Amino acid sequence: MNSVDVDLGPRSYPVLIGTGLLENAGSLLREHGLCQTNAFVITNPQVGALYFESLQQALGKAGFMRIVRHEIPATEEGKNWEEFSGCCSALLEAFPDTGSIPLVILLGGGVVGDLGGFAAGVFRRGVPFVQIPTTLLAAVDSSVGGKVAVNFGGVKNIMGIFNQPRLVICDLALLKTLSPRELRSGAAEVIKYGVVCSEALFEQLEGGLEKLLALDGAALIDIVTQCVGLKAGVVARDEFDKKGIRNVLNFGHTIGHALELSANYTLTHGEAISIGMIAATRLSIALGLSSPLLLERLETLLHRANLPTRHPDAPGLFDKIVRAMQMDKKFRDGKNLFVLPTRIGGWQQQENVPWELVYEVVRSVLTVSETLPS
Ligand code: NAD
Ligand code: GLY
């Protein structure tokens, strides 16, 4: 088992990465000082059917007396205010008095993790919670760093807080039941780290991305550990996203989030980010900040992962994307802000990019023609 520390002073916690950890989840919680006897497990019907029982047994062995299971829908459309409110109601109903405060356990992908971490953060002004990521995306990204939120009013992640888990238990064996599409979706975030944070990781992916997609044990634990280490390093330097450092993690997300929302969540998060990374890289080239070779290498890797690099156009889609993009949380005082790669492993943020250029790159990823502008 590997362990990566997220070093945040009093809010520090380890991310445990290995296989067979779910069966030992109870003892891992105890070893890390979590001594509650009640647990409120948030999951979804798909993940719950696969893994809740094992978790329940593991908790029981470690002395948990009351384990309440709460399910939210298994799609991004379930990451909304009504489900959040339903989750808070279920928490209050199950644990109405202060003597029974539970450990909240989030068993699922980014949707469960984001919604559940938000609920744990506001219930009684915060109860402890633990992430057990079950998707590659959640393992390498969303379970670490404490950004928790739900979508609201047609804007992604607009209602949320920073709330760090006490522990992340990342059991890589759970990824075996992921659909190939969800696996690829997680690969998009892995590729993101390579492009803007680590040339070594990008080159490793160029050398053997297929090993990751085949869940090859050694490659998987190595790559997940690298990604978690990269994220932990960024979060430790800018936990509350105030210094501009954490923005690096949003590479591909400005246009990607807007597309994800505007396409009514017909794309997975990673698929939208894949297209968003292409658009942001084109923007970087147009501004003279990076080279067409970088775009070519990125596009090649995304294609090898079978990830999309463009989206079919549809009436009104462009306008919807532009409107959604203008609500981006990074934008301040009417100025836009984009995270742009400058070389493999390097990035910078650019404010006030001419909107015409932004429109051009958005249009470029909406084309269905085979000869895309680069
Ligand atoms: P998800 O949580 O919707 O899971 C994707 C699908 O995979 C679901 O249908 C789920 O039921 C299924 N699934 C999950 N684990 C499974 C398993 N082990 N076996 C079989 N099926 C399984 O999606 P996701 O890609 O994990 O997360 C996307 C969300 O994460 C988005 O809402 C995005 O905004 C958010 N996100 C948050 C952060 C952050 O820092 N908080 C970072 C990146 C993404
Ligand atoms: N996923 C973006 C962040 O954690 O900052």
Instruction: Write down the pLDDT at residue 110.
Output: 97
Contact 191, 305 (CB under 8 A): yes
Mean pLDDT check: name the lowest of 20-24, 31-35, 235-239, 260-264. Answer: 260-264
102-133 residue pLDDT tens: 999 999 999 999 999 999 999 999 999 999 99
Give the tens place of pLDDT for each residue, 92-101. 999 998 788 9
| Mean pLDDT for all residues in the chain | 95
- In this prediction, residues 254-276 reach a mean pLDDT of 94
Give residue 98 CA to ligand 2 midpoint distance, Å.
32
| pLDDT score of 368 | 66
Contact 278, 295 (CB under 8 A): yes
Residue 367: predicted pLDDT: 76
How many A from CA of 288 to the centre of ligand 1?
Answer: 35
Confidence (pTM): 0.95
Asked whether 257 lines ligand 2 (CB < 6 A), one says: no
- pLDDT at 373 exceeding the cut of 50: no
Q: What is the pLDDT of residues 250-259, one digit of tens each?
A: 999 999 999 9
**pLDDT-based confidence at 372, cuts 50/70/90?**
very low
**Helix (H), strand (E), coil (C) string for 269-318:** HHHHHHHHHHHHHHHHHHCCCCCHHHHHHHHHHHHHCCCCCCCCCCCCHH
Atom nearest to 145 CA in ligand 2: 4
Could you report the per-residue pLDDT of 56-67, keeping only the tens digit for each?
999 999 999 999
Q: What percent of the chain has pLDDT over 70?
A: 98
Ligand 1 center to 220 CA (angstroms): 18
Tens digits of residue pLDDT in 205-227 = 999 999 999 999 999 999 999 99
Dump pLDDT digits (tens) for 127-161. Answer: 999 999 999 999 999 999 999 999 998 888 999 99
Residue 328's pLDDT band, with cuts at 50, 70 and 90, is confident
List, in order of start, the domains of the chain with CATH numbers. 2-177 (3.40.50.1970), 181-367 (1.20.1090.10)
Please report the pLDDT score of residue 334 as a whole number: 78
CA of 95 to the centre of ligand 1 (A): 27
pLDDT of residue 78: 87
Ligand 1 mutation pick, 129, 134, 257, max ligand atoms within 8 A of CB: 134
Minimal-distance CA residue to ligand 2 atom 2? 249
Cα of 138 vs centre of ligand 2, distance in Å, is: 11
Per-residue 3-state assignment (H helix, E strand, C coil) for 127-176:
CCEEEEECCHHHHHHHCCCCEEEEEECCEEEEEEEECCCCEEEEEHHHHH
Cβ(181)–Cβ(268) under 8 Å?
Answer: yes
Ligand 2 centre from 247 Cα, in Å?
8
| Nearest CA, atom 3, ligand 2 | 249
Whether residue 62 has its Cβ less than 6 Å from ligand 1: no
Nearest atom, ligand 1, residue 117 CA: 41
Q: pLDDT above 90 covers what percent of the chain?
A: 91
pLDDT of residue 374: 37
**Distance of CA 373 from the midpoint of ligand 1 (Å):** 32
Would the CB of 109 count as within 6 Å of ligand 1? yes
Confidence (pLDDT) at 370: 43
> Which helix (DSSP H) or strand (DSSP E) does residue 5 occupy?
strand 2-6
User: Looking at residues 30-55, what average pLDDT do you find?
Assistant: 97
Locate the ligand 2 atom nearest the alpha carbon of residue 250 and give its number: 2
The edge-to-edge listing of strands for the beta sheet with 2-6 is 2-6, 13-18, 167-171, 129-133, 103-108, 38-43, 66-71
